[in-house]
Chain A
């Protein structure tokens, strides 16, 4: 199969597939393949963009990846509403529960390896790169799953204040986090930006890679079948240029985690963030080659607030008893 599919006609569809680019053209007496419609993921549902718009990213060979939802401001807002609604439940879920759900994501991802490899290859990677990326994505979810019930223990503190008080500082999630996912590494980049955010109890609104969006929606299906409560992860496809200001200005987004190589867009977000003092975390797009890049609990801490709690201790010692 080699024909470019610039204009998808019925005839084209009869002879080749949009998403199944495995190099084997369809034989005449084979069945007609059912093509996948890529939609967005909001509040645990897979709607199309409310705008009804789409765009057609292509791979390096000029092949069209699909009719991808061109999300709008309204989609961002709907996603934030869904994420906010899910926040109380998800942040209140036990660490063990969060851990299990992240591990479940890894399991689901592992069993659908083939599909992701196919998508990543179609998006332009080699088979070997694709295999490596999918494996690394699985490892990412396993790694961060394990932190769910440990980062508090490692990074929190009991503070020895002068006076009869019990005083401790512990971490709490920032809230709703906007994630501008990496443009490359369409699967691993999502895993690396989403896992540290949700394992700490945040809920997220993710803008997937514009040029390589296929994995984002398939990964959403993985989330959906991994007991991630609806609204905890919301995934949009579309153009950063169009949506950047809404991530920056939305008053109910607490933080933005930015993973693109675009100072212009970063600065737009940073400037708009001032209105509600959003926390903006900028991550240099990573190659995700070293462990230091891919396994970093400080990425969890980046999206946490420290809460310090005081309570008096009755001074029993003063009356003579004690231990």
Chain B
């Protein structure tokens, strides 16, 4: 039987024949307070305004805890604490600094289960992902960067690296703990002190991380965590004693930050949006590629800046790929984030769910053909089925704009040149994917993609040793790896 025959008509009826019994992860062992204050200078401090906001579970819409809202005064307090701590921390023998960071890594590993459950509760991501990706990677980031602390002299030939000072770090809601680790670990290893602001919808794991910082015995003021929404973030960005801004989030906010630091000596790294092309050639290992497409767009509900949200299929395999893709989408389970069988958890917030639904409406209006998974959705909470659009044009909004949800836009191509042009025809440049069995074609494509991370025959892989960051309007600077260190150092 030839390859062609194998690929026609065969289908596993997983969705219709098998039912999964619920397998919820227990929440009995987690430790959460009803109310969280700000973590400033090693202590829990009530916000000066006395204001608190709710953090809710997006899968149930139930409140989890009260979270302090930091205003300019509170941010100022945090920056002052960080400034005071900077001298001693940066002068600490590097190997001692390393050991503090190693301690954090170990503490995360020890409490991995608790962190995973809280991450899924607060942010809505499937426990399978928080357990297997977010939390282990967060620990790995601290572990990797800890070791750099006393080896920085080897990282930049001919240069004498020195800590910058106080870093203001603002992180998004899609990978709350992992993004905190991406920011904190290199900053601390390089001898800086930090004021970190988690996203307002997902503050819990960062606040739990503050507990670990205390437990690890870090000197007071080295890590400060302030919670709040956009205005808290802008207080950090505009504080005149901040030396470096690290931001992960939308391109829109990134531009505001870039503009507001003009005329200051603040350094910045921006990790912003994306609209990645995932390109599948006729000679690709089709089944693996289909898995890669699924992982590329539906991983973390599509709340991923490097998501493979634009799929390009070479015409000869278009029908085959679409059929397999739809079959696979129909097997995906959307539901309780804490259930170990769940593939796609809850959309992070009501606002984000509305954004996604609006884009789906726009896609339909623009004339594209719509498909969504056949699964059922829970009656409560913010959920969205995995969806895809075929027959889209390059000019369509759903092709041009980042949706940040489980929405895939599918286009076709006939030649290598055509797909390179189409793939690069976007203001973004964060990531790309290429699927083909031919080595020389892989390297042609990976080198032609104007993007900072390119996955060939795989997708959405992350590692602390692997630099991550974008070209063009996806921001500048790298996080992770040796190249991520320079953002936190003055190279003299």
Contacts and interface: CB of A to CB of B under 8 A. Distances in A.
A174 B442 CA distance: 21
B380 interface: no
Interface in A247-283: 254, 263, 267, 270-271, 273-277, 279
B483 A271 contact: no
Contact of A312 (B159, B258, B458, B473): B458
A262 B442 CA distance: 46
A162 interface: yes
A34 interface: no
B263 A267 contact: yes
Contacts of B469: 306
Contact of B491 (A159, A298, A309): A298
Given A169-B467, A308-B468, A311-B458, A271 B262 contact: yes
B465 interface: yes
Interface stretch (B30-38, B193-201, B224-232, B445-453): B445-453
Contacts of B454: 307-310
A85 to B, nearest CB: 14
A46 interface: no
Interface of B: 140, 157-159, 251, 254-255, 258-259, 262-263, 270, 272, 427, 442, 446-447, 450-458, 461, 463, 465-469, 471-476, 478, 481-483, 491
B466 A167 contact: yes
A310 B263 contact: no
B417 to A, nearest CB: 11
What size tier do the contact residues of chain A reach?
Answer: 20 to 34
B270 A163 contact: no
Nearest to B456: A311
A8 to B, nearest CB: 42
A161 interface: yes
B476 A277 contact: yes
A276 B251 CA distance: 10
Contacts of A12: none
With most chain B CB atoms within 10 A of its CB, the pick from A163, A274, A308 is: A308
A318 interface: no
B476 A263 contact: no
Nearest to A92: B447
A310 B451 CA distance: 13
B466 A169 contact: yes
Given A165-B458, A309-B454, 10 more contacts: A254-B472, A273-B258, A277-B255, A277-B270, A277-B272, A297-B158, A298-B491, A306-B483, A310-B458, A310-B461
B478 A277 contact: no
A270 B262 contact: yes
| 8 nearest CB pairs, A to B | A161-B463, A270-B262, A159-B465, A311-B456, A274-B259, A310-B455, A274-B258, A277-B473
With most chain A CB atoms within 10 A of its CB, the pick from B262, B442, B455 is: B262
A306 B476 CA distance: 10
Contacts of B442: 311
With most chain B CB atoms within 10 A of its CB, the pick from A163, A169, A175, A263 is: A169
Contact of A309 (B251, B456, B471): B456
Nearest to A295: B158
Nearest to B157: A154
B472 A162 contact: no
Interface string A158-189: 01111101010100101100000000000000
A157 interface: yes
Contact of A307 (B251, B262, B427, B451): B451
B457 A312 contact: yes
With most chain B CB atoms within 10 A of its CB, the pick from A163, A273, A307 is: A307
Given A159-B466, A167-B466, A277-B472, A310 B140 contact: no
Contacts of B475: 277
A159 B140 CA distance: 14
Interface of A: 154, 157, 159-163, 165, 167, 169, 172, 174-175, 254, 263, 267, 270-271, 273-277, 279, 297-298, 305-312
A174 B454 CA distance: 16
A143 B478 CA distance: 28
With most chain B CB atoms within 10 A of its CB, the pick from A174, A263, A273, A306 is: A306
A279 B267 CA distance: 12
B446 A309 contact: yes
B483 A307 contact: no
Contacts of B251: 277
B481 A157 contact: yes
B431 to A, nearest CB: 9
16 contacts: A157-B467, A159-B465, A174-B471, A175-B450, A270-B258, A274-B255, A274-B258, A277-B475, A298-B159, A305-B471, A308-B452, A308-B468, A309-B446, A309-B454, A310-B454, A312-B457
Contacts of B255: 274-275, 277
B255 to A, nearest CB: 5
A165 B465 CA distance: 12
A310 to B, nearest CB: 5
Nearest to B478: A306
Contacts of A157: 467, 481-483
B254 A161 contact: no
Given A167-B466, A276-B472, A311 B481 contact: no
With most chain A CB atoms within 10 A of its CB, the pick from B251, B255, B467 is: B467
A162 B446 contact: no
Contacts of A275: 255
B422 to A, nearest CB: 16
Contacts of B446: 307, 309
A163 B466 CA distance: 12
Contacts of B159: 298
B453 A307 contact: yes
A311 B445 CA distance: 13
A52 B458 CA distance: 55
A96 B456 CA distance: 27
Contact of B463 (A162, A172, A174, A297): A162
A306 B474 CA distance: 13
A306 B461 contact: no
B467 A308 contact: yes
A306 B251 CA distance: 19
A154 B155 CA distance: 10
A252 to B, nearest CB: 11
Nearest to A270: B262
A167 B482 CA distance: 13
Contacts of B158: 297
Contacts of A279: 476
